[in-house]
Amino acid sequence: MTRSTRWISATAAIALLAVSLWTATGASATGPKPVTKITFKLAAHQAKLGTAVTSSVLVQTRSGNAWVALPAATLTVKVNDGSAPVTIVTDAAGKAPVSYATTKVGGWVMKVSYAGDPTHKRAQRAQGFNVMPA
């Protein structure tokens, strides 16, 4: 085997290994899913029992070098106080209102999550708040 033949064989083996690793990691010819960004901030971090904790959520994704709205994104809103999760959907501008009626005194965390879809990555954000007696 000549020196150039060995070099070509080694190069082919490395290329085959790279393709195998690329396929094993789930990469595709279309590239990775675009990043999804959630902007979520509570209007207030203190609330009296029986009042609502509110926010507006904005979900965006990358299109080239720009962030654009992600309409019709289904989001799950969970509060760690034992209450059932709530599902909300973003509008054409990528926005969705959040309103949670407080039922227990204490310190809680509200988490908004997007599970992702075949063309967008998952994302989540959380904010803490305190509920005081009325």
Listing DSSP states for 31-71 in one string gives -SPPPEEEEEEES-SEEETTSEEEEEEEEEEEETTEEEE-T
Same domain assignment for residues 70 and 95: yes
Is the model's pTM score more than 0.85?
Answer: no
Same domain assignment for residues 27 and 70: no
**21-79: pLDDT as tens digits:** 444 444 444 667 889 999 999 999 999 999 999 999 999 999 989 999 999 999 999 99
**What domain range includes position 2?**
1-31
Same domain assignment for residues 52 and 102: yes
Same domain assignment for residues 24 and 65: no
Number of domains in the chain: 2
Q: Supply 42's token pair.
A: 């509570």
Within the chain, how many helices (H) and strands (E) appear? 1, 9
